[in-house]
Amino acid sequence: MSFDYKIADISLHEAGRHQIRLAEHEMPGLMALREEYAEEQPLKGARIAGSLHMTVQTAVLIETLVALGAEVRWASCNIFSTQDEAAAAVVVGPHGTPENPQGVPVFAWKNETLEEYWWTAAQIFAWPGVDEDPAKGANMILDDGGDATLLVHKGVEFEAAGAVPSAAAEDPEEYRVILETLRKSLSENPKRWTGIASQLRGVTEETTTGVNRLYQLARDGGLLFPAINVNDSVTKSKFDNKYGIRHSLPDGIMRATDVLIGGKVAVICGYGDVGKGAAEALRGQGARVIVTEIDPINALQAAMDGYQVATLDDVVNQGDIFITTTGGKDIISAEHMQQMKNKAIVGNVGHFDNEIDMAGLAAIEGIQKIEIKPQVHEWVFPNTDGKSIIVLSEGRLLNLGNATGHPSFVMSSSFANQVIAQIELFAKSHKSYDGDDAYATEVYVLPKVLDEKVARLHLEALGAKLTELTKEQADYLGVDVAGPYKPAHYRY
Amino acid sequence: MSFDYKIADISLHEAGRHQIRLAEHEMPGLMALREEYAEEQPLKGARIAGSLHMTVQTAVLIETLVALGAEVRWASCNIFSTQDEAAAAVVVGPHGTPENPQGVPVFAWKNETLEEYWWTAAQIFAWPGVDEDPAKGANMILDDGGDATLLVHKGVEFEAAGAVPSAAAEDPEEYRVILETLRKSLSENPKRWTGIASQLRGVTEETTTGVNRLYQLARDGGLLFPAINVNDSVTKSKFDNKYGIRHSLPDGIMRATDVLIGGKVAVICGYGDVGKGAAEALRGQGARVIVTEIDPINALQAAMDGYQVATLDDVVNQGDIFITTTGGKDIISAEHMQQMKNKAIVGNVGHFDNEIDMAGLAAIEGIQKIEIKPQVHEWVFPNTDGKSIIVLSEGRLLNLGNATGHPSFVMSSSFANQVIAQIELFAKSHKSYDGDDAYATEVYVLPKVLDEKVARLHLEALGAKLTELTKEQADYLGVDVAGPYKPAHYRY
Amino acid sequence: MSFDYKIADISLHEAGRHQIRLAEHEMPGLMALREEYAEEQPLKGARIAGSLHMTVQTAVLIETLVALGAEVRWASCNIFSTQDEAAAAVVVGPHGTPENPQGVPVFAWKNETLEEYWWTAAQIFAWPGVDEDPAKGANMILDDGGDATLLVHKGVEFEAAGAVPSAAAEDPEEYRVILETLRKSLSENPKRWTGIASQLRGVTEETTTGVNRLYQLARDGGLLFPAINVNDSVTKSKFDNKYGIRHSLPDGIMRATDVLIGGKVAVICGYGDVGKGAAEALRGQGARVIVTEIDPINALQAAMDGYQVATLDDVVNQGDIFITTTGGKDIISAEHMQQMKNKAIVGNVGHFDNEIDMAGLAAIEGIQKIEIKPQVHEWVFPNTDGKSIIVLSEGRLLNLGNATGHPSFVMSSSFANQVIAQIELFAKSHKSYDGDDAYATEVYVLPKVLDEKVARLHLEALGAKLTELTKEQADYLGVDVAGPYKPAHYRY
Amino acid sequence: MSFDYKIADISLHEAGRHQIRLAEHEMPGLMALREEYAEEQPLKGARIAGSLHMTVQTAVLIETLVALGAEVRWASCNIFSTQDEAAAAVVVGPHGTPENPQGVPVFAWKNETLEEYWWTAAQIFAWPGVDEDPAKGANMILDDGGDATLLVHKGVEFEAAGAVPSAAAEDPEEYRVILETLRKSLSENPKRWTGIASQLRGVTEETTTGVNRLYQLARDGGLLFPAINVNDSVTKSKFDNKYGIRHSLPDGIMRATDVLIGGKVAVICGYGDVGKGAAEALRGQGARVIVTEIDPINALQAAMDGYQVATLDDVVNQGDIFITTTGGKDIISAEHMQQMKNKAIVGNVGHFDNEIDMAGLAAIEGIQKIEIKPQVHEWVFPNTDGKSIIVLSEGRLLNLGNATGHPSFVMSSSFANQVIAQIELFAKSHKSYDGDDAYATEVYVLPKVLDEKVARLHLEALGAKLTELTKEQADYLGVDVAGPYKPAHYRY
């Protein structure tokens, strides 16, 4: 093989290529960027280390970065999420063959171990020759969840300390693996990460978790390079969360259970953007939706949108379907689950699997767990004459586990933000640019006018036609004809 | 094995049993009937020949008939629709084992040939000893589509004629197979079907097609026994069509394509009950729905519900998704498909596959058909630089082909009508009963009060609580406290 | 004045004319009929006695009848419902002046006494010279509620008996007035009504109440002439009830109370067509809607549409707004009202004012009734520290009392049915026509194809474009290209 | 009379008192504040000069301020918006009589002249003895639109200059009146406004316009005291704009025209919060809604919500109803109106009346304007055979002109923000308080936790029950159990 990569099975590339072709049609934002920047090649010279679910949609993202001039190495940011055929197709490339791959090095396959996962994370920085000359390594990170960024920061930290510490007793298993990965690295090259970090112009990050880590690093003075928070672009957060979930929640429930949603009582825990999309989707299927909330403003929104707002305790025995959307923890407890109706369906589209107390459920003495099919389990309570509930995806994100996650069109919006942020930061990071508008080693959100640009790129595909302000109208409103049109605090 | 049956693989029975158990919870109508009639055993003595898709839901129907006292033999009414694990579980029965099956003889497996199909249809009448003594054979038919009924009527007709005619040149292939099946039967026993028909008290039929055949037979004087039209119960037609499709249409589109429905333009051809459910589902997902209609009343309903009403010709180049729901033919022509946007999605949830002119599409010279995955095909038009459309399920019912058909709850409603109709007819067919209220050899709809009963059986499961009329209020309205509550022509 | 009529104030005619002109635009069905029949003049020779709320919309109906060749005399069918300016404009006519009215004799004004009301009912039959020669009198009745028809039938009955009986003690006040009216008539001309009836070719009737009376007369053998039931046309019943109420219920609540509907809990009693429209309207304003029902089929529809279905007893203390839509009686009792939340709003859009037990409410000892404004009353319960409820329109139809009833577009649909039925019956009543398709002295519904015609007449105004069947498609469906398209029992 | 005030007619007070009593029930936020602070009396010592539409809802606000200890003087902020009966009731007070008024001095009546308007604005600062001792004057302003604040700032400016300048030729008429008002003041007391300003602890302002003026003053260094921007509280902006309009737009259209909204094509110009509420309302009534937008993000939201997004030019001949919601100008031009369908309805719920080019419409040669009723005009185009459009409220806010503006519940939310801001600022303005958390002379938004408090105050009235975080859950989320729960940039 002509370059270093590892995927499950490269022979899958043709199936992946068909899917990529169809996905391109649903990702008008990325395709418009390819067209707009075909000549200019704004990412020429960029060497991007990418860590993001290696799906069909990500394949379109990767090939867009390449089309804009970048060199790319890629890993997934989740041990389960790789679609092998997509990975294969990206490796082979649109014009290559399995024997002569001409695509991008991808280090990802479905069902990695933790050790494999952190090995792949390290591989996206292992550009040929980088150990000898850091300038041959990555100069940009595109991150989802912050693992790639974490690896660099921890690597630099431990290299400065001269040693990797031992894991403490209370450290999670995964942290142990990270330490081991870096310990091995340190033994191979004690200045590797310091060198890599020196060349990095910045990172673009698209998750709440990753962004929180970045803000914390910045606050603590530990941030090593500029960062753009893509997560809080309107075209990322509102769209991804609300419209993505509106699609993928019913999709997941239907695929998992084939249960008629119409006429059922659905309890949605949380009425943030995810909860709003979830509630709208299930109401659109004829369910009666009850919302639980802790935030009085969101609760008032739910009431004004016509939903009953109640506490879970009060309605736990009425619901047929329970969905967490909060980002919090212990939203649905084991006691709650015991009080539910027979065959109630429980799932999570919020964040981590601790929104539902799966550990508490499993700990009930005598409880029986039956796998109906993969990612769909019936939990039969003891001493109840067979009363049971159905838990989807073991409490993890059901829209990923029971369906296929966000549709391409939604990802086009998120990924167009990523690409634009990469262009911005590659050009104007203070590490390589000294203009007044250089990005310092801080965390930025994308300028609103670029957020608007992402929206603009998607309108035509929907047949939506935008009205243009006249100069006179723009002056009256005190805005530029080309935008941005709203003050920073505008809530959409 | 202890009795005669044929299914694909009996070892699947455990998987089927789990699914049946879950489906029972979603079929409260059938379960309530089991409870109500546990003691009375109204189907004791009934020998039911059943012909209906052999799915998990049908398994619950079959076991309900058995629980009410019936003996049953079963075949599927479609060569593709059998779920083998459901068939296996029914054969084994809840208390049997593969070595000692104690269930019901089932003649059905996924992907039958036409010859096999009509063989299975004959098997449901081949009760042990029936050739010697017709009184040992079936005395009831439960039909879906009318094939079992057709076989009996044709058998009787040809036995009377003394011979089975040859197929005409223009006869469809399937008719040839039917003739061949009966020709063989005639050679084995020239009075078989005449004997069987003499014992049949009646048939209950649940499809439009089957019902139309029955009305035609009755009109032409050829009907051999009483029939109950279950198709036109409100709890069958309105629920099955509207609420079933509302669920299974988006399910099918999502599973097939993973395309975001939100923001898309969906063209729904037809605004009958199926179209109403389809439009509501896609609007509920954020699509902009355009309706085409030929009936001005339905068109006015669509307009009043806020949909644009247009001709397909006028909007064929605006739609992203096209769905036929009409029961008619040639709704979407090959020319229409050539005018659609690139990657438009085309599917049918109406009736037969001729709603979309698949033959015309395939006949376009130079057209290329790519299988994206089973039941999802991309058709690339020649000389268009790769412009293509996506056709679901080859133009057949996409909610069956790309999803799993109607959910259990919907089928519970249809099947409760079937069970109640079986009870009615078994007890009161003029063939075995001479009360004034005997069913003659005609086609009946279920009395409204039984239709209401089916609805009643499903309310509790939804947590819906019915108000009871006082005697005084009922008198004021001129109805009985127990119903029926509406005049026959009431439209709901 | 050139002819005999009585209205409140003819000087209002200009205001009425403006409103008629605007209403014409919203009544495309009637205007299309004017155009279609301008030349043919199918009502030439018709002398129509009309009894129907004398509103602006009715003015358009009357002038349509005239445009089709009819002579007309008019009264209102309700003592409160006349819009005086509309009456004035009809009398003056589009081309007349108050000094030289050239319109139609109208006997109607706002707030008639019962005596006046029945005097006006008699006037529409008092055509010049009719006492001498019945052939100079009315030959058609257009009725709403059946009062005009009742008067003729009672007149004939008493003339046959030779005397008008005395009212019984339990007879309602209104019946006394009717008897008095006829007693006076008998003394003037003992054969008046017998003569009138002999000339009448038939009646078209548009209310449930009036239609029920007609069916009863037909059943009892007392019907004197053919009748067409316009009430059960789809374009009347579904549209009038569902879409009319969807508009006029929130209109009435808003005008009466200015209370924000969003976020409120609304209890809708009944889920027939009126209830469906009511529920949709309030949900569309962001209310949470709870439905009560006695009919399990309608209840199941409500559940499937996502509404909570409960008994009033269970939710009476949760609702902010209570609306009856049933046609029954004692739906909301005085006890219910005492259990409601402070300032709950109670109203009726069903049928008679006995849906809400106003008498029981008024009979509570110590209750205080405060008129907030006309048709809006606060009822303060004794010994409750000021707890009160708001009752709209004294329990009568709030969409009439607090708003302006059905919008013109809805009435266009009802009235187009009336006009078409008048044309049908005037031409084909057996009283003047002996074709095989003559209407006998029975009650008919309009042929479905005419129902479809009414729908057709309204589509263009909404920009809706109908698809036409090809001959081949129509044959496949077994229908005529021109309709009707559905079997009689189709439910829409 | 015991104090100085001027209103139209004090005898109206009883009608106003009834309406205030009903409105109190719909303003749970204000009533909860009365209860919470009954003892503490946080506004004891506050002397509030209030300038805000003198409606029934404002009466509840004023009496809440009084209940919290404040002294108040009031004027309306609009020459048309006073409800005289509300003003009368406030003057008389709940326990006073017309002969012995015990309420609050109010300077407001319906239909003021500009001269009268600015006289009333001055009166709210004319506290007895203030000219002699500014400390006897107002120490707080509660403003809507900024006129009261403007008067103080201009007064101080001109007093510093020693003279009031002459109006320039291009100055609007109103500015002339302001100058004249101040010129008179200067002649009476050349230090009046300087004295008043010295005592003012701050202003709370609730409109976009007023807030913009404040930010501009702050930016230019001219702001004289601290200000709280109440307009951008979530519970003000989102609720007022979206849910208020959702109610009052259909209310206005229905009252004005009685036209059936169902089935119509409605074009909504703008998809900000007002546009979102407008679109939802009309869709909820069965209209087909088309949206026009200039902002690609809002346009994408509209598309994702299932609306067609088009330019007005492209759909101007399809719409039946056109509503502007933009805050911009010249959204609907005279040319647009000429291209509309006959009898199209045109109205504005955005901001100023220049959203619709009324001047351009009136300037069309030969155009005829017919008053159908107050605030509803038909404009008949010349040479068109009577083609006309209907313009509501002369292009001004139709929800005020044709309906009654925002319902009480919506105002309760806005006004609770006002009261809380008054408490905050009165206690912690740097003018009278030197804590670290003192408000400096800048413009602030309310702390999020107070915004949440306003929401909290309204939940109970809706029957909504809030979930409480455990300490552990709150820690996990990094928030306080008592809130605030979201970061500042959260968009809701």
Alpha carbon distances (Å) from B304 to B62, B267, D253, D257: 42, 17, 18, 18
| Chains in touch with A (≥3 Cβ pairs < 8 A) | B, C, D
D147 vs D159: CA distance, rounded Å:
18
Q: Name the residue with tokens 């319906």.
A: D110
| Structure confidence at residue D8 as a pLDDT band (50, 70, 90) | low
Report yes or no: D153 at the A interface, CB cutoff 8 Å. no
Q: Between chains, do B26 and A259 touch, taking CB under 8 Å as contact?
A: yes
Predicted local distance difference test score (pLDDT) of residue A1: 32
The three-state secondary structure class of C107 is strand
Burial class (CB in 10 A: 0-12, 13-18, 19+), C224: buried
The C-alpha of B289 sits at a distance from chain D's nearest C-alpha, in angstroms, of 8
In D135-224, which ranges are continuous DSSP H helix? 147-161, 173-188, 192-199, 208-220
Does C405 belong to an annotated binding site? no
B172 vs B113: CA distance, rounded Å:
15
Q: Which tens digit of pLDDT belongs to each residue from C431-467?
A: 999 999 999 999 999 999 999 999 999 999 999 999 9
Predicted local distance difference test score (pLDDT) of residue A90: 97
Alpha carbon distances (Å) from B485 to B467, B490, C269, C489: 13, 10, 15, 17
Q: What would the mean pLDDT of C320-334 be, rounded to a whole number?
A: 97
Does B271 belong to an annotated binding site? yes
The C-alpha of C339 sits at a distance from chain B's nearest C-alpha, in angstroms, of 18
Residue C376, pLDDT > 70, answer yes
Contacts B489 to C, Cβ<8 Å:
232, 489
Q: What would the mean pLDDT of C128-157 be, rounded to a whole number?
A: 97
D268 vs D319: CA distance, rounded Å:
10
Report yes or no: D485 at the A interface, CB cutoff 8 Å. yes
Q: How many CA atoms lie within 13 A of A5 on its CB side?
A: 28
Does B133 belong to an annotated binding site? no
Contacts A22 to B, Cβ<8 Å:
257, 343, 372, 378, 390
**DSSP-derived secondary structure for D76-128:** -SSSS---HHHHHHHHH-TT--SSS--S--EE--SS--HHHHHHHHHHTT--T
Report yes or no: B11 at the A interface, CB cutoff 8 Å. no
Contacts A477 to D, Cβ<8 Å:
327-328
Of the candidates C19, C286, C343, the beta carbon closest to that of D22 is on C343
Q: How many CA atoms lie within 13 A of A435 on its CB side?
A: 9
Residue C2, pLDDT > 50, answer no
Report yes or no: C261 at the D interface, CB cutoff 8 Å. yes
D115 vs D216: CA distance, rounded Å:
26
Amino acid identity of B175?
Y
Nearest CA in chain A to D488: A489
Q: Are D155 and D224 in contact (CB under 8 A)?
A: no
Distance from chain centroid for Cα A210? 9
Q: Which tens digit of pLDDT belongs to each residue from D252-282?
A: 999 999 999 999 999 999 999 999 999 999 9
Of A408, A484, A491, A409, nearest to A451 by C-alpha is A484
Predicted local distance difference test score (pLDDT) of residue D124: 97
Q: Which tens digit of pLDDT belongs to each residue from D36-61?
A: 999 999 999 999 999 999 999 999 99
Contacts D257 to C, Cβ<8 Å:
22
A343 vs B409: CA distance, rounded Å:
14
Residue B1, pLDDT > 60, answer no
Q: Between chains, do B265 and A25 touch, taking CB under 8 Å as contact?
A: no
The C-alpha of A285 sits at a distance from chain B's nearest C-alpha, in angstroms, of 6
Cβ-Cβ contacts under 8 Å between B and D: the total is 32
Interface test with D, best of B265, B288, B290 (most D CBs within 10 A): B288
Distance from chain centroid for Cα C42? 25
Contacts A283 to C, Cβ<8 Å:
306
Q: Name the residue with tokens 């603590």.
A: A220
| Structure confidence at residue B2 as a pLDDT band (50, 70, 90) | very low
Contacts C353 to B, Cβ<8 Å:
none
Residue B3, pLDDT > 80, answer no
The C-alpha of B439 sits at a distance from chain C's nearest C-alpha, in angstroms, of 21
Of C112, C113, C141, nearest to C125 by C-alpha is C141
Report yes or no: C380 at the D interface, CB cutoff 8 Å. no
Nearest CA in chain D to C317: D463
Q: Between chains, do D286 and C243 touch, taking CB under 8 Å as contact?
A: yes
C330 vs A171: CA distance, rounded Å:
68
Contacts D285 to C, Cβ<8 Å:
246-247, 250, 281, 284
Predicted local distance difference test score (pLDDT) of residue C80: 87
Report yes or no: D263 at the C interface, CB cutoff 8 Å. yes
The C-alpha of D248 sits at a distance from chain A's nearest C-alpha, in angstroms, of 15
Query: At D35, which helix (H) or strand (E)?
Result: helix D28-36
Predicted local distance difference test score (pLDDT) of residue D80: 87
Q: Which tens digit of pLDDT belongs to each residue from B151-199?
A: 999 999 999 999 999 999 999 999 999 999 999 999 999 999 999 999 9
Nearest CA in chain B to C458: B300
Q: Between chains, do C262 and A287 touch, taking CB under 8 Å as contact?
A: no
| Chains in touch with C (≥3 Cβ pairs < 8 A) | A, B, D
Does A257 belong to an annotated binding site? no
Report yes or no: D303 at the A interface, CB cutoff 8 Å. yes
Report yes or no: D264 at the C interface, CB cutoff 8 Å. yes
Does C271 belong to an annotated binding site? yes
The lowest-confidence range among A84-93, B82-91, C8-17, D392-401 is C8-17
| Structure confidence at residue B6 as a pLDDT band (50, 70, 90) | low
Q: Between chains, do D251 and C254 touch, taking CB under 8 Å as contact?
A: yes
In b/e form, how buried is each residue of D366-376, taking b as 16+ CB within 10 angstroms? Answer: ebeeeebeebb
Name, in order, each residue with C-beta under 8 angstroms of A171's C-beta and a sequence gap of 6 or more.
none
The C-alpha of A148 sits at a distance from chain D's nearest C-alpha, in angstroms, of 24
**In the numeric block, which tokens belong to residue D258?**
């009685």
Interface test with C, best of B231, B273, B295, B452 (most C CBs within 10 A): B295
B183 vs B181: CA distance, rounded Å:
5
Of the candidates A295, A467, A477, the beta carbon closest to that of D293 is on A467
Predicted local distance difference test score (pLDDT) of residue A231: 94
Q: Give me the tens of pLDDT residue by residue for chain A, a chain 492 residues long.
A: 334 566 768 889 999 999 999 999 999 999 999 999 999 999 999 999 999 999 999 999 999 999 999 999 999 999 988 999 999 999 999 999 999 999 999 999 999 999 999 999 999 999 999 999 999 999 999 999 999 999 999 999 999 999 999 999 999 999 999 999 999 999 999 999 999 999 999 999 999 889 999 999 999 999 999 999 999 999 998 888 999 999 999 999 999 999 999 999 999 999 999 999 999 999 999 999 999 999 999 999 999 999 999 999 999 999 999 999 999 999 999 999 999 999 999 999 998 889 999 999 999 999 999 999 899 999 999 999 999 999 999 999 999 999 998 999 999 999 999 999 999 999 999 999 999 999 999 999 999 999 999 999 999 999 999 999 999 999 999 999 999 999 988 999
- The angle, 0 to 180 degrees and rounded to 10, between the axes of the packed helices D147-161 and D173-188 is 60
Name the average pLDDT for chain D.
95
| Structure confidence at residue B17 as a pLDDT band (50, 70, 90) | very high
In b/e form, how buried is each residue of D317-356, taking b as 16+ CB within 10 angstroms? Answer: ebbbbbbbbbbbbbbbbbebbbebbebbbbbbbbbebbbb
Report yes or no: D456 at the C interface, CB cutoff 8 Å. no
Q: What would the mean pLDDT of D473-481 be, rounded to a whole number?
A: 95
The C-alpha of D2 sits at a distance from chain A's nearest C-alpha, in angstroms, of 43
Predicted local distance difference test score (pLDDT) of residue B23: 96
Q: Which tens digit of pLDDT belongs to each residue from B443-491?
A: 999 999 999 999 999 999 999 999 999 999 999 999 999 999 999 889 9
φ and ψ at A441, to 5 degrees? -80, 75
Does A417 belong to an annotated binding site? no
Of the candidates A286, A300, A308, the beta carbon closest to that of C288 is on A308
Of the candidates D283, D286, D304, the beta carbon closest to that of B263 is on D304
In A310-407, which ranges are continuous DSSP H helix? 312-315, 334-339, 358-362, 398-401
Contacts C355 to B, Cβ<8 Å:
none
Name the average pLDDT for chain B.
95
Contacts D306 to B, Cβ<8 Å:
262-263, 283, 286-289
C263 vs A302: CA distance, rounded Å:
8
| Structure confidence at residue C154 as a pLDDT band (50, 70, 90) | very high
**Is 0.90 surpassed by the pTM of this model?**
yes
User: Residues of chain B with pLDDT > 90: what percent?
Assistant: 93
Interface test with C, best of B231, B232, B243, B300 (most C CBs within 10 A): B300
B364 vs C339: CA distance, rounded Å:
71
Predicted local distance difference test score (pLDDT) of residue C4: 53
Q: Between chains, do B485 and C295 touch, taking CB under 8 Å as contact?
A: yes
Nearest CA in chain A to B239: A262
The three-state secondary structure class of C378 is strand
Residue D3, pLDDT > 50, answer no
The C-alpha of C461 sits at a distance from chain B's nearest C-alpha, in angstroms, of 11
Q: What would the mean pLDDT of D163-179 be, rounded to a whole number?
A: 94
